[in-house]
Amino acid sequence: MGKYLNPGNAGFQSILKSEYIDKTGLIDYMNSTLGTKQKLTCVSRPRRFGKSFAAQMLCAYYDKSCDSEDLFRKTKIALKPSYHMHLNQYDVLYLDITWFISTTFDIKNILKKLQKSIIKELKEVYSDAVEEDEEALPIALADINAKSGTKFIIIIDEWDALFREEKDDKALQEEYVQLLRGLFRSSLTDKMIEAAYMTGILPIKKYGNQSALSDFYEFTMVDPSPLEEYVGFTEEEVRSICQRSSLNFHEIQHWYDGYILGDGLHVYSPKSVLDAVSRKRLGSYWTQTETYESLKTYITMNFDGLKDAIIAMLGGAAYTIDTKTFQNDMTTFHSKDDVLTMLVHLGYLAYDVSSEQVFIPNQEIKEEFLRAIKNTDSPELVQVIRRSEQILEATLRMDAEYVARMLDRIHSANSSPQFYNNEQSLRAVIQMAYISRIKDYLEFQELPSGKGYADIVFLPKKGSDKPLLLVELKWDKSAAGAISQIKEKHYIQVIEDFGGDILMVGINYNSKNKTHSCIIEKYEK
């Protein structure tokens, strides 16, 4: 076993000892591609979505230097006809690009060093096939194949790390692309490569409308089908985890659900779910890596409509974008759509392929946006948050007049004329007004209760001493009528076991004079 050639199965062994979710169905897909024109696979997904786990699983399965029968015996792949045919039958080259960057002092010569290190290991096994002074990895693999007939499976984890770490070094990026083309886009690829599997955050770099590695089949956060169930944890898998832990599924769902992939499949971030389970506490477990720093940069870029889109999505709206113009790097942006597409790949936005809309997926990510905005130098975004905090404070002190006045301002500033007198517009205004709720509240809309549905319920997070807010909306009626409906239809029923104070908030919009009215009452138990 080596560092690059046939690294063994130790990585997958450690994964199995933790809270393991069986994703070995991916192996069956890869087996179906071996030796075919579909054998080159690139799967991109955000940090914390199990990219390295999948790569280590594939290494353990294909690597002929180890015996992984015991590791896979009880998994889904063991039931497939292809299982024994390919188990531990191949020479595997495993490249962790992030690790290699972190151990290299001379980044300019990283590709030469990478090839030299791999060729050194190849010579130890295939000493008669590789020329002593050979420095090009594609040629070394071609020579080995020519003399021994060996075909390799190449697994590259974090393939795009150079594009992220050295995002301004175009010469180094081009050199890297040329190396990959030598491996995967040459006349010898079919002879020396049985299959390839690459992971990354970004899809493969594009030059104009063309992929730099057009022979790869790509599965991304924008278009993951049919591999969407391997992107993260599915709802069924999260339910099974909750059954084995003390956490409530519906609370987990509110915090971490929201990525909708393929044909409506809901996917969760594995790390977020597992961190919540191990700590026995719900919260934001988003690691503040360079992607977090990028979030602050991207949401303040000077593109028309970008800041308005961010604010609208914080309020709960979805936003239609064109994802096809994005060049799959971290420096080439021509419009707000390119920026928002980048945020999809980073995991800060979810994308619904059927509607072609993006949105902030869940409570965890909303908190990250709120944190990022507070640390930006964008006066427009900071003002929105401050105004929302003032509205929430006024609601808690039951200053209904101030709340109504601020809703007038928000509605006037953010509603386009054709939708100004629209009931959905009123709900959007309320969402925007209470953006700051993210810190202390969980939100539920159209909550079944009593004899109807409560419009909006802001439920304080565990440990908070804030009152619960039950918001009822009216259109061309009265705020008093909204309060009466809460009482008459017993909307309190679903939350009557709540131990703290409850505030009933009635809001009405008058479409004739374009003003809001508000009444706030404390519920007397």
> What pLDDT is attached to residue 179?
94
What CATH number does the domain containing 57 carry? 3.40.50
Residues 360 and 458 in one domain: no
Angle between helices 110-125 and 170-184 (to 10 degrees): 30
Of 377, 408, 440, the one marking the end of a domain is 377
Query: What pLDDT does 287 receive?
Result: 59
274-305 residue pLDDT tens: 999 888 888 887 755 556 677 888 888 888 88
Same domain, 100 and 200: yes
State which of 196, 219, 242 marks the end of a domain. 219
| Per-residue pLDDT at 495 | 78
Task: Pull the structure tokens for residue 400.
Answer: 């209904």
Confidence (pLDDT) at 192: 94
Beginning with the edge strand found earlier in the chain, give each strand of the sheet holding 515-522 in spatial order: 441-449, 452-460, 468-475, 502-510, 515-522
Q: Given a cut of 90, is residue 18 above it in pLDDT?
A: no
What pLDDT, in 10s, does the model give residues 319-365?
Answer: 899 999 888 888 889 999 999 999 999 999 999 988 999 999 998 89
Helices (H) and strands (E) in the chain, counts: 22, 18
Q: What percent of the chain has pLDDT over 70?
A: 95
Of 127 and 418, more confident: 127
As for how many domains the chain has, the answer is 3
Amino acid at 129: A
Residue 226 lies in a domain: no
pLDDT at residue 267 tops 80: yes
Q: Please provide the average confidence, as pLDDT, over all residues in the chain.
A: 88
Distance CA 497, CA 479 (A): 26
Indicate the burial class of 171 (C-beta count within 10 angstroms; 0-12, 13-18, 19 or more). exposed
Of 78-82, 300-304, 419-423, 484-488, highest mean pLDDT: 78-82
Same domain (yes/no): 472, 340: no
Mean pLDDT of 33-47: 93
Say if residue 199 is in the same domain as residue 73.
yes
Q: What are the two backbone dihedrals, phi and then psi, of residue 445, each rounded to the nearest 5 degrees? A: -110, 150
Euclidean distance between CA atoms 508 and 423, whole angstroms: 11
Query: What is the pLDDT, as a whole number, of residue 14?
Result: 92
Does residue 66 lie within any of the structural domains? Answer: yes
Among 377, 405, 432, residue at a domain's last position: 377
For residue 157, give the nearest of 219, 97, 224 by alpha carbon. Answer: 97
Do 392 and 314 have their domain in common? Answer: no
Dig out the tokens for 141 from the structure: 């693999």
Task: Confirm whether 4 is domain-assigned.
Answer: no
pLDDT of 416 above 60? no
The whole-number pLDDT of residue 418 equals 39
Does 8 score more than 90 pLDDT?
yes
Q: For residue 210, what pLDDT is reported?
A: 67
Segments in 248-302 forming alpha helices (H): 249-256, 270-279, 290-298
Whole-model pTM: value is 0.87
When comparing pLDDT for 205 and 86, which is higher? 86
The DSSP call for residue 478 is -
Query: 394 and 277: one domain?
Result: no
Distance CA 119, CA 126 (A): 10
CA–CA distance, 155 with 63 (Å, rounded to integer) = 11
pLDDT of 195 higher than 70: yes
Q: Is residue 227 part of a domain?
A: no
459: closest CA among 438, 475, 474? Answer: 438
Please work out, in degrees rounded to the nearest 5, the angle formed at the alpha carbon of residue 301 by the alpha carbons of 299 and 305. 80
Q: How much is the average pLDDT of 263-271?
A: 89
The number of C-alpha atoms within 13 Å of 77 and in the hemisphere containing its C-beta is: 29
Same domain, 271 and 386: no
Quick: pLDDT tens for 448-473: 766 777 888 888 988 788 999 999 99
Element (H, E) at 233: strand 233-234
- Per-residue pLDDT of 207-254, as tens digits, reads 666 677 888 999 999 999 999 999 999 999 999 999 888 888 988 998
The pLDDT > 90 percentage for the chain reads 52
Map tokens 């690790």 to a residue.
99
Inside any domain, residue 178: yes
Beta carbons of 188 and 138 less than 8 angstroms apart: yes
Confidence of residue 420 (pLDDT cuts 50, 70, 90): very low
Pair 373, 384 in one domain: no
Domain range for 250: 232-377
Same domain, 126 and 236: no
What band does 522 get if pLDDT is binned at 50, 70 and 90?
very high
Strands 217-219 and 40-44 turn out to be: parallel
User: What CATH number is given to the structural domain containing 469?
Assistant: 3.40.1350
Tokens encoding 342:
């980048």
Query: Does residue 323 sit in the same domain as residue 354?
Result: yes
Q: Is residue 34 part of a domain?
A: yes
Residue 421 has pLDDT above 60, yes or no: no
Please give the C-alpha separations between residue 200 and each of 111, 151, 155, 484, in angstroms, as whole numbers.
18, 24, 11, 54
pLDDT (0 to 100) of residue 468: 92
Out of 76-85, 295-304, 376-385, pick the least confident: 376-385
Q: Are residues 42 and 133 in the same domain?
A: yes
Residue 484 falls within a domain, yes or no?
A: yes
Q: Which two tokens stand for residue 269?
A: 């971030």
> Of 85 and 500, which is predicted with more confidence?
85
Average pLDDT for residues 164-168, to the nearest whole number? 87
Among the listed residues 209, 226, 208, 230, the one whose alpha carbon sits nearest the alpha carbon of residue 217 = 226
d(CA 493, CA 489): 9
User: Of the given ranges (143-147, 265-269, 372-376), which has the lowest mean pLDDT?
Assistant: 372-376
Distance (Å, rounded) from C-alpha 293 to C-alpha 295?
5
Q: What was the pLDDT predicted at 208?
A: 61
Q: Cα torsion at 495, 496, 502, 503 (round to 10°)? A: 70
With contact defined as beta carbons under 8 Å apart, do 19 and 241 qualify? yes
In a domain, 183, yes or no: yes
DSSP class of residue 202 equals S
- pLDDT at position 419 is 42
Give the pLDDT of residue 454: 80
pLDDT band (50, 70, 90) for residue 156: very high
What are the φ and ψ backbone dihedral angles of 509, each rounded to 5 degrees?
-115, 130
Determine the Cα–Cα distance for residues 288 and 265; give it in Å rounded to an integer: 27
Residues 302 and 358 in one domain: yes
Task: List the one residue out of 277, 264, 209 whose CA is nearest residue 235.
Answer: 264
Out of 100-114, 142-156, 414-428, which region has the weakest mean confidence (pLDDT)?
414-428
- pLDDT (0 to 100) of residue 56: 94
Q: How far apart are CA 321 and CA 313, in angstroms?
A: 13
